[in-house]
Amino acid sequence: MALPGSSRRQPTNRGLVSHCTHHHIAVFLLTFFSYSLLHASRKTFSNVKVSISSQWTPSCLNSTALELRPYELWNSSHLFPNAEEATLFLGTLDTIFLFSYAVGLFVSGIVGDRLNLRWVLSFGMCSSALVVFFFGTLTEWLHFYNKWFYCCLWIVNGLLQSTGWPCVVAVMGNWFGKAGRGFVFGLWSACASVGNILGAFLASCVLKYGYEYAFLVTASVQFAGGVIVFFGLLTSPKEVGLPELGADEEGSVEEDANRPLMGDADVDDDDRNYSIQAADTDSQPKAIGFFQACCLPGVILYSLAYACLKLVNYSFFFWLPFYLSNNFGWKEAEADQLSIWYDVGGIVGGTIQGLISDVLQKRAPVLAMSLLFAVGSLFGYSRSPNSKPINAVIMTITGFFIGGPSNMISSAISADLGRQDLVRGSSEALATVTGIVDGTGSIGAAVGQYLVSLIQENLGWMWVFYFFILMTSSTILFISPLIVREIRLLLHERHLRMLAE
């Protein structure tokens, strides 16, 4: 996707050093923590499941005639007859959430491109915080327990939560050019994992006061985040008069002219930049249509690839602790702690692979290499011995090769796709494209959760791993046309350079 002649500059250095104003840092942190908070409230839900299910069920102490008194204290809650059915319902809520989240992603990307990204993101955070508050806190305070009400709220929550990802990726894509994008986005992709840790921490801190307070705290913090985003987020450099980023390499003439100013841009310089740039930013770009966005080269292929890859990635998130305690008989808390290594591998993998792809200026080949290694590491992990250190090491490697590419497609590559030459200048496509890619991925993930439980029950864990290997291979298959194209471009470039010398 890069222009053949674009390699004449050292992109990584420039993109990272000379571009970095305090606005960039603020945008990086704001978007990072916005998505972290959204993810934290999701994590809270999975962390309070035990408390919720005991709130919803009567106590059945060894089911003898001996009934616990007083009745109101021990048996008055009858939403579900026992904990198993409550767990089943909570699992259903998870699935409902994933599907409505996937559907929402398609919609909110389109909305995000048409309305102000800041408004959409801030609205999404605040309203989904309110829904979480209704779901977890208000129903408990009013003692209003109703299955259908819970389902409806969780569908709405999925739709509202989905505004987050397309908006934050679009904002990040506006601020960080393709040059350093792989590295910056790789680092930035840690936001989901940070959100998980934050959610688990917040929930565990206040769970003793009652599960409703776990929801209250995460919802309040998320609401506060929405308010801060509303007051503090700059959705694009042009809002403060900084030059807008070009399609894949920044418009060189405009950019070079401004470079002296940008080098040491601080508050004083903003005014000057503002006046210089004020004239040429008044043209409001038109948003791209949904089908137009689908037809952009690479969007469909990457979406399908991401559906397969996110399936594997999310299955690891959801099933890894269960697999570890089920297959090796390790304690649940230990398994939970150990499974963090997968996240760590994913963050490191995403960052390093992003950096490599920045240097190469090609993402698909890096992705393909990583996925080939992923197949190997999956095979290795399925035969991991019953030893925690060895398992943790192989898990980290697997996370490196699966989580890394997964992070890269959902963030850096989505941003590349939404800012490619074809949509340059004339239209806004970033959020729409991100929504399409991540939405397809989420559908894959939702279907995957179901398939994994099915396969595990009927065929056993080994077949789950074979299924993962199959899905990873399909990912490679889907991006292979892109690899061929990019390698051809790479060779063509080299050929041109050799001719020039």
Q: Any idea which residue has 């998130």 for tokens?
A: 317
Tell me the C-alpha distance between 442 and 436, whole Å.
Answer: 10
When the beta carbons of 147 and 495 are compared against another protein, the nearer one is 147
| HSE value, Cβ hemisphere, 13 Å, CA-based, for 440 | 22
Q: Which is nearer to another protein, 69 or 383 (CB)?
A: 69
Burial bucket for residue 210 (CB in 10 Å: 0-12, 13-18, 19+): middle
Size of the site for another protein (CB under 8 A): 52
Angle between helices 178-188 and 388-408 (to 10 degrees): 140
Q: Which stretch binds another protein (CB under 8 A): 64-72, 179-187, 289-297, 343-351?
A: 64-72
Q: With respect to another protein, which residue has the nearer C-beta, 116 or 473?
A: 116
What's the closest the beta carbon of residue 389 comes to another protein, in angstroms?
35
232 binds another protein (CB under 8 A): yes
Q: Which is nearer to another protein, 217 or 299 (CB)?
A: 217
* Binding residue (CB under 8 A) for another protein from 160, 194, 216, 309: 216
Phi, psi values for residue 47, rounded to 5°: -80, -25
Alpha carbon 33 to its chain centroid, in Å, reads 12
Q: Which residues contact 84 (CB under 8 A, 6 or more apart)?
A: none
Minimum distance, C-beta of residue 157 to another protein, in the bound complex (Å): 21
| 3-state class (DSSP) for residue 241 | coil
Q: Does residue 8 touch another protein according to CB under 8 A? A: no
Q: How far is the CB of 288 from another protein (least distance, A)?
A: 18
Structure tokens at 284: 């409001």
CA-to-CA separations, 199 to 42, 158, 186, 192, 207, in angstroms, rounded:
8, 17, 21, 10, 12
According to the binding rule CB under 8 A, does residue 501 interact with another protein?
Answer: no
The answer to whether 68 contacts another protein (rule: CB under 8 A) is: yes
In the numeric block, which tokens belong to residue 357?
């792809």
Binding another protein (rule: CB under 8 A), the pick from 235, 303, 357, 406 is 235
Site string for another protein, 247-286 (x = CB under 8 A): --------------------x--xx--x---x--x-----
Tokens for 245, please give them: 């980023």
Q: Is 205 in the site for another protein (CB under 8 A)?
A: no
Per-position x/- string for 82-121, each x denoting binding to another protein as judged by CB under 8 A, each - no binding: ----------------------------------x-x---
Query: Within positions 144 to 183, which residues make up the interface with another protein, using CB under 8 A?
Result: none
Give yes or no for residue 55 binding another protein (CB under 8 A). yes
User: By C-beta, is 51 or 325 nearer to another protein?
Assistant: 51
Residue 74 in the binding site for another protein (CB under 8 A)? yes
Minimum distance, C-beta of residue 449 to another protein, in the bound complex (Å) = 28
Instruction: Give yes or no for a contact between 286 and 424, defined as CB atoms under 8 angstroms apart.
Output: no
Q: In the complex, what is the shortest distance from the CB of residue 210 to another protein, in angstroms, rounded to a whole number?
A: 4
Please report, as a single letter, which amino acid is at residue 185: F
Two structure tokens written together for 243: 């030059």
Work out whether 336 is an interface residue with another protein (CB under 8 A).
Answer: no
User: Measured from the CB of residue 62, what is the shortest distance to another protein in angstroms?
Assistant: 9
**Counting runs of H as helices and runs of E as strands, what totals does the chain give?**
23, 2
Task: Examine residue 7 and tell whether it contacts another protein (CB under 8 A).
Answer: no
Burial 355-384 (b: 16+ CB within 10 A, else e): bbbbebbbbbbbbbbbbebbbebbeebbeb
Indicate whether 390 belongs to the interface with another protein (CB under 8 A): no
Q: What is the dihedral of CA 80, 83, 88, 92, to 10 degrees?
A: 60
Residue (56 or 318) nearer to another protein, CB: 56
Binding range to another protein, per CB under 8 A, among 72-80, 194-202, 330-338, 401-409: 72-80
Out of 61, 88, 295, 333, the only residue in the binding site for another protein (CB under 8 A) is 61
Shortest distance, position 168 Cβ to another protein, whole Å:
16
Amino acid at 500: A
Return the residues of window 20-49 that contact another protein according to CB under 8 A. 22-23, 26, 30
- Give the three-class secondary structure for 427: strand
Contact between 241 and another protein by CB under 8 A: the answer reads: yes
Q: Which of 200, 224, 393, 470 binds another protein (CB under 8 A)?
A: 224
d(CA 441, CA 250): 29
Q: Does 344 bind another protein (CB under 8 A)?
A: no
Kindly tell me which residue out of 129, 217, 348, 431 binds another protein, with binding defined by CB under 8 A. Answer: 217
Residues in a beta bridge with 286:
427
Ranges of H-type helices in 278-339: 290-295, 299-327, 332-338
- Structure-token pair, residue 96: 């409902």
69 binds another protein per the rule CB under 8 A? yes
Structure tokens at 486: 């990019």
Distance from C-alpha of 445 to C-alpha of 284, rounded to nearest angstrom: 36
141 binds another protein (CB under 8 A): yes
Pairing mode of beta strands 286-287, 427-428: parallel
Residue type, 100: S
Q: Are 156 and 96 in contact (CB under 8 A)?
A: no
Min. distance of Cβ 347 from another protein in angstroms?
25
Query: Where does this chain bind another protein (CB under 8 A)?
Result: 22-23, 26, 30, 51, 54-55, 59, 61, 66, 68-74, 76-77, 116, 118, 141-143, 206, 208-211, 213, 216-217, 220-221, 224, 227-228, 230-235, 239-241, 267, 270-271, 274, 278, 281
